[in-house]
Structure 1
Amino acid sequence: MRNVVVTDPPRADTGDAEKLGGFGVATVHEALGRVGYLGPELRPAWAGARIGGTAVTVLCWPGDNLMIHVAVEQCRPGDVLVVATNSPSTDGLFGELFATALARRGVRGVILGCGVRDVAELREMGFPAWSRAVSAQGSVKATAGAVNVPIVLGGQVIRPGDVVVADDDGVLVVPRNDVPRALTAAQARIDKESAARAAFEQGELGLDRYGLRNRLGEFGIEYVSHEKYAEEDA
């Protein structure tokens, strides 16, 4: 691994990132063809947060948060700090003091492929954080890593300047060059879901709206009366 800090990488538009955050993880994930999801292990430190921002990436050693200190300086308003370790770690590399520094710089939140601590303080501050674990285990500042290089979390490659969307459903990455398509596709899905919601409120069934009723036979599903079922099951 090269110990490097890449300065001023190209970023997606922060307004576009915020708009994708408003759509939410599930909507954008479905709209893009179910790609980019970082998996169920990354969970919010507190419920109700929703963000969309541009990634500043950090690669640390397990139990060592030196490079997070280095990365803070590279953060701009609208960014999301995304931290990976070069081997599995659940140590609490991030807490309230880091959040204070990042909030001052306009950072929208943090995604941690390790542990987080000071959860009560983060909730009180309203600073969003997603992590693999909650852990009081502390860290050292002893080993060099990298900032603003491609990293891998949840099987997804995250590059500096990509858009990160996160909410109660998890975390999603949208490659920077794919943001325009994501915006168009997500809006189309929102419109489609709004129409479906209105139909369901009027009593329409998904079986009919999605053309499933006439396909039930293909799945081997049959309708039988309770009486007949009881006789057959006797």
Structure 2
Amino acid sequence: MDTIINQFKDIPTTCISDAMEGLNNFHPAIKPLKEKYKFAGRALPVKIPVGDNLSVLKAIREAKPGDVIVVDSKGNEYRGIAGDFVVGMAQTLGVGALVVDGTIRDCVGIKDLDFPVFCRGTTVAASGKAGVGEINVPISCGGAAVNPRDIIVGDADGVVVIPQQSEKEILRIAMDKLKKDQEREANISGNPEAIRKYLDSFISNSSNK
């Protein structure tokens, strides 16, 4: 079991983004079909040309349980890279989530599957299957570099990628940030005087920079 994946599942993407100084976020247009979706897993990157999804099918066949299929579809919004049938196959074979810098179709059917899909939106047009594309190669998705086996985390706020070589350090920083955020919330929320003191201190420190 990849324990670090389970640890990242409990941390909001906003906190992880802060730990990386906002450098590894996907484009904010890439959002979950349902706000409740939350996932973390190892990336299986897919590079495809606009309008050809055969490599997505290859990735589904090759994916390990829990893998996140991340598709560089060049931001194309006209042709969907998958519909409910394809997503259903991915779910059955144990894929953890599907993230695409592009669109999907059959959105009602996909929502019924209750499977984490993150994309730019939905469309009606299907992709062809000429066979051009690559899997398990470095890609750019939503403006972020993604390498095979990087950690991908997504929730209602969006998607972040954690480079594999620095995942332990990022986890440590993110967990520390989350703990401090929770302590701050507990100390000042609902307390007008504590809020005023916090704001005064924050404004004063910012003014002195």
> TM-score under structure 1 normalisation?
0.81
The yes-or-no answer on 1:197 pairing with 2:194 is no
Give the match for residue 153 of structure 1: 141
Preserved CA contact (<8 Å) 1:122 1:128: no
* Alignment match of 2:76 (pick from 86, 89, 94): 89
> 195, 204, 209: which is aligned to 1:214?
204
Q: Which has the higher Rg, Structure 1 or Structure 2?
A: 1
Q: Does 1:42 align with 2:49?
A: no
* Root mean square deviation of aligned Cα: 2.0
**CA contact 1:94–1:117 (8 Å) conserved in 2:** yes
Q: Tell me, in whole angstroms, the C-alpha distance in 2 between the residues paired with 1:206 and 1:183.
A: 32
Does residue 67 in structure 1 map to residue 38 in structure 2? no
Superposed structure 1 runs of 4+ greater than 6 Å apart: none
Q: Secondary structure at the match of 1:58?
A: strand
CA distance in 2, matches of 1:33, 1:127: 29
Distance 1:216 1:176 in 2: 34
| Structure 2, gaps ≥5 residues long | none
1:98-177 to 2 correspondences below 5 Å: 98-177=86-165
Q: Distance in 2 between matches of 1:209 and 1:192?
A: 16
* Deviation of the 1:16 alpha carbon: 1.2
Q: 1:155/1:217 Cα in 2 relative to 1: closer, same or farther (>3 Å)?
A: closer
* Aligned-residue offset at 1:217: 5.9
Which residue is 1:3 aligned to?
none
2:189–2:195 CA contact under 8 A, matched in 1: no
Provide the secondary structure at the position in 2 that maps to 1:93. coil
Alignment pair present for 1:180 and 2:164: no
1:143 Cα offset (Å): 3.2
Letter in structure 1 aligned against 2:76: S
In structure 1, C-alpha distance between the alignment counterparts of 2:115 and 2:83, rounded to whole Å: 10
Q: Compared with structure 1, are the counterparts of its residues 200 and 148 closer, same or farther at alpha carbon in structure 2 (3 Å cutoff)?
A: same
1:232 equivalent in structure 2: none
Identity across matched positions, percent: 24
Residue pair 1:110, 1:130 contacting (<8 A) in 2 also: yes
Once the two structures are superposed, residues 52-93 of structure 1 have per-residue CA deviations (whole angstroms, 9 ceiling, x without a partner) of: 0100011111111111111112101111000113x4411111
Aligned residues: 206
For 1:111-166, what per-residue CA distance to the aligned partner results, in whole angstroms no more than 9, with x for missing partners? 01111112222222110111122111111111321000000012211001000011
